[in-house]
Amino acid sequence: MYSVPYMRTRFEDLGTDGWGTYFALYVLFFSAMFGMVESNNFILFYVFLELALVPSFLLILFYGYGNRGRISMMYFIWTHVGALTFLLGALIYGSVLGTFNFYPVPSVAPLAALAPLVAALLLVGLLIKMAAFGVHVWLPYAHAEAPTPISALLSPNLIGIAGYALVRMPLALFRPLLLSAQWILLAVALLTVFYGGLLVFRQTDLKRLLAYSSIAQMGYILLGIASFSPLGIAGAMLQYFAHAIGKSVLFSSAGVMITENEGLRDVRKMGGVAKSMPYTASLSLWGFMNISGLPPSVGFFSKLFILLGIASLAAQGPAGLFVFVLVLISLGLTPAYSFFAMKKVFFGPSQSRFTEGGLWMLLPSAAIGAFGLLAFLFPGFMVGPLLSFLR
């Protein structure tokens, strides 16, 4: 629904009419993501991983903004390297064990001395796809310059699948090995949170601001996983859900600004938008509340569970207490940059007259946002089965 008015404007800018190609690639893209989460086999997962990469690469190349040729190639190379690193670990795993299945969880004892190498390759490959600190370079460019309906799948969904896969594969198969690297994972997670969060304050492009926010949110998912506790990992998976809802709504709201106001993306030229675009402002506020963990959004439970998962480290000594304090501080970072962005874009002195998008663009965002409220009101529907499985 959202793609129709948005891409009509984009096709006019490009001087083309590519509805058939666009929707074919779009359907292939999200279908491949369904395939990834339904896979119980390394090779099958890899095939769907690449099936998601190719259409998303072409969608940025054909319909993106800025230097879309260079940006789409950067996205392709970085994420393909991550996929190949993952595949190398999977091939070693399969050649030794005689199976590529990872669920039901098999015994990895035959891997013996190769187990650390396989675990490291799987982990690094997924961290690249997740855009963790140090391997995040591709994300701000790809997510900012992709057409907004694609940004609303790339940022909320695709990168989070890597966190989900990290739980289902290396963590499930090589838990003792990953546990020995817990402090490294926690350090990477905290660097990802603070790096992405602090750089949000420096952005003048609205979509790039949201892209750096996605890096920070992936850091929270990694924090929950690195806690190695059922509560923390449940929080990470709920954070994936909360981020998916919040960032879908936020990118959709940014797309309304772009299509209805002559491609406006510069935050410095905004201000006072809420007066002319009250529904877009309200949806944006709800999106920021979901990623900030403020009630009544599902993000409240995700951040709470991550914090409870990390709290178990505080009893292990000064290092654990230090990490817990850093996580506490980091939890204030998302609300800080969220309301900084809200003030900058939607409040303060009005820069000019803005135009609200039609219902065709606002209704899909509102429908997605409603799931964040429903999950807050009825948390047991998700939390109960999730904690039961993890325990």
Could you tell me if 175 and 268 lie in one domain?
no
Count CA atoms within 13 Å of residue 108 on its CB side. Answer: 26
The pLDDT of residue 391? 83
Could you tell me if 174 and 188 lie in one domain?
no
Mean pLDDT of 267-280: 88
Could you tell me if 155 and 247 lie in one domain?
no
Please identify which residue in the block is written with the tokens 């969060």: 197
How big is the chain by its Cα radius of gyration, in Å?
21
Number of domains observed in the structure of the chain: 2
Provide, rounded to the nearest whole percent, the portion of the chain with pLDDT above 90. Answer: 79
The pair of structure tokens assigned to 141 is 């460019």
Model pLDDT for residues 188-202, shown as the tens digit of each residue: 999 999 999 999 999
Could you tell me if 218 and 95 lie in one domain?
no
Provide, rounded to the nearest whole percent, the portion of the chain with pLDDT above 70. Answer: 99
Q: In 3-state terms, what secondary structure has residue 228?
A: coil
Determine contact, residues 379/302, Cβ cutoff 8 Å. no
Range list of H helices, 230-277: 230-260, 273-276
Beta bridge partners of 266: 205
Could you tell me if 202 and 83 lie in one domain?
no
The pLDDT of residue 356? 81
Where among 180, 204, 222 does a domain terminate?
180
Where among 180, 211, 245 does a domain terminate?
180
pTM of the model: 0.95
Model pLDDT for residues 63-110, shown as the tens digit of each residue: 999 899 999 999 999 999 999 999 999 999 999 999 999 998 899 999
CA-nearest of 42, 54, 250, 65 to 158 is 54
Could you tell me if 158 and 199 lie in one domain?
no
Could you tell me if 359 and 332 lie in one domain?
yes
pLDDT at residue 226 greater than cutoff 90: yes
Domain assignment of residue 50, given as a range: 1-180
Task: Could you list the beta-strand ranges (E) of the chain.
Answer: none
Could you tell me if 119 and 195 lie in one domain?
no
Find all residues with CB under 8 Å of 378, minimum gap 6, and list them. none
The pair of structure tokens assigned to 46 is 């890899």
The pLDDT of residue 315? 80
Could you tell me if 29 and 171 lie in one domain?
yes
What DSSP assignment string belongs to 22-55?
Answer: HHHHHHHHHHHHHHHHH--BHHHHHHHHHHHHHH
pLDDT at residue 312 greater than cutoff 90: no
The pLDDT of residue 271? 85
Determine contact, residues 155/210, Cβ cutoff 8 Å. yes
Could you tell me if 6 and 124 lie in one domain?
yes
Mean model confidence pLDDT for the chain: 93
Could you tell me if 171 and 198 lie in one domain?
no
pLDDT at residue 316 greater than cutoff 90: no
Mean pLDDT of 312-318: 85
Could you tell me if 175 and 209 lie in one domain?
no
pLDDT at residue 48 greater than cutoff 90: yes
Determine contact, residues 347/272, Cβ cutoff 8 Å. yes
Model pLDDT for residues 318-364, shown as the tens digit of each residue: 989 999 999 999 999 999 999 999 998 888 777 677 878 778 889 99
pLDDT at residue 258 greater than cutoff 90: no
CA-nearest of 239, 206, 210 to 222 is 239
The pair of structure tokens assigned to 296 is 């009544």
Q: What are phi and psi of 174, to 5 degrees?
A: -130, 45
The pLDDT of residue 357? 75
Q: In 3-state terms, what secondary structure has residue 390?
A: helix
Where among 144, 159, 180 does a domain terminate?
180
pLDDT at residue 223 greater than cutoff 80: yes
Determine contact, residues 376/300, Cβ cutoff 8 Å. yes
Task: Give the distance, in angstroms, between the CA of residue 301 and the centroid of all CA atoms in the same chain.
Answer: 17
Model confidence at 263, pLDDT cuts 50, 70, 90, reads confident
